[in-house]
Amino acid sequence: MRFLGVDVGGTKTSACIADEKGNVTAIDVDGPGNFQTVGTIRALSSIKRAVMGALEKAGLSKEDVTFAFFGVAGADTDYDRSVVKKILGEIDLEKYDYEDDGFIALRSAFLDGTGIVVTCGTGSISYAFDGKNYNRIGGYSFFFGERLGAYYVAGLVISAAMRAKDGRGRETVLLKMIEDKADAPIEDLTIYSHAQDLEPPFDLVPTLISMLKKAYQKGDAVAHDIVDKIINEIAIIVKAHESKLDFQGKPAVALEGSCFKALGDILPERLKERLPSHTLKVPEHDPVVGAVMLAMERAGKKVTQEIYERLVISYMEAKR
């Protein structure tokens, strides 16, 4: 038996193949697959290349896949899901299913799915499960309430630096960090927010988040304020889930996504002050592991603790 899990994100698409014991045999990564941001043609191309790349590495064909599960960024409304269904149908797999990417992140974080996951990748979404019912929060856009996501956090960083320079905000080491990296005045970077054919001098979003961590560690007050905003939003999301579901005790909380991982131990340490009775974790492995688990379960295979642990270990080994 061979199971295929695919995490279709706004920045990249990851495909993972594992056997029934949880041994990961192949991983492949391609470009963004969120049709809302890159269009259906490019989304299909990224997903198809990731799937076929993983199959080729594993020495398998599409017919060898027992079941596939896709976690798809942008699978939000009924209309979105109809578009995603059409895209995935073009992959031509016999047995597959899909949900949005937050769903696989929850499954990846907890063996039985019970708990809360808050994601901060390209965008943000949160899922919770109390053992009986699921609850979703967010996953749409800033306009519709999001206050997390790598682009949002990076925007807080660069806007704070700009406001410090023109006198609207407090002084911050972030300004010097950005201008030194760009080797230019910060205002020269504004062109990259609207000139889509120009490449910025450095990878803006991950670099700005890395700068936030360094500034925080230097004791920069503005950086601390930005981290406080992140912590506050996570706590609000957790409390909102708890108000909607019936948890027995305080649920565990997982922080998932490239932004949270980049900030390292800062968030769990600070979040513990706001959520002292919750167990907090930042999984080392990626949500695509959850997609593999769901593929197994859709095929009738029970994911035991042993299989889960093997999946995580072998995935991290394959990723290295």
CATH number at residue 89: 3.30.420.40
C-alpha closest to that of 223 among 278, 266, 180: 266
pTM for the whole structure: 0.91
Cβ atoms of 12 and 32 within 8 Å: the answer is yes
277 in any annotated domain: no
**Full DSSP string of 16-76:** EEEETTS-EEEEEEES---HHHHHHHHHHHHHHHHHHHHHHHHT--GGG-SEEEEEETT--
User: For residue range 69-92, what is the model confidence (pLDDT) as tens digits?
Assistant: 999 998 888 999 999 999 999 999
Cβ atoms of 48 and 90 within 8 Å: the answer is yes
Pairing of strands 253-256, 96-99: unpaired
279 in any annotated domain: no
58 in any annotated domain: yes
Q: Please state, in angstroms and rounded to a whole number, the distance separating the CA atoms of residues 29 and 10.
A: 13
Q: Is the pLDDT at 197 greater than 80, yes or no?
A: no
User: For residue range 136-174, what is the model confidence (pLDDT) as tens digits?
Assistant: 999 888 899 999 999 999 999 999 999 999 999 999 999
158 in any annotated domain: no
> Can you tell me whether residue 105 is helix, strand or coil?
helix
36 in any annotated domain: yes
308 in any annotated domain: yes
47 in any annotated domain: yes
φ and ψ at residue 97, rounded to 5 degrees: -150, 170
φ and ψ at residue 167, rounded to 5 degrees: 95, 0
Cβ atoms of 308 and 293 within 8 Å: the answer is yes
Q: Which residues contact 200 (CB under 8 A, 6 or more apart)?
A: 189, 192
Beta-bridge partner residues of 136: 127
Question: Could you give the number of structural domains in the chain?
Answer: 1
Q: Please state, in angstroms and rounded to a whole number, the distance separating the CA atoms of residues 175 and 172.
A: 6
16 in any annotated domain: yes
Determine the pLDDT at residue 195.
65
Determine the pLDDT at residue 202.
85
Q: Please state, in angstroms and rounded to a whole number, the distance separating the CA atoms of residues 133 and 246.
A: 8
Percent of the chain with pLDDT strictly greater than 90: 88
For 6, the domain range is 2-109+284-319
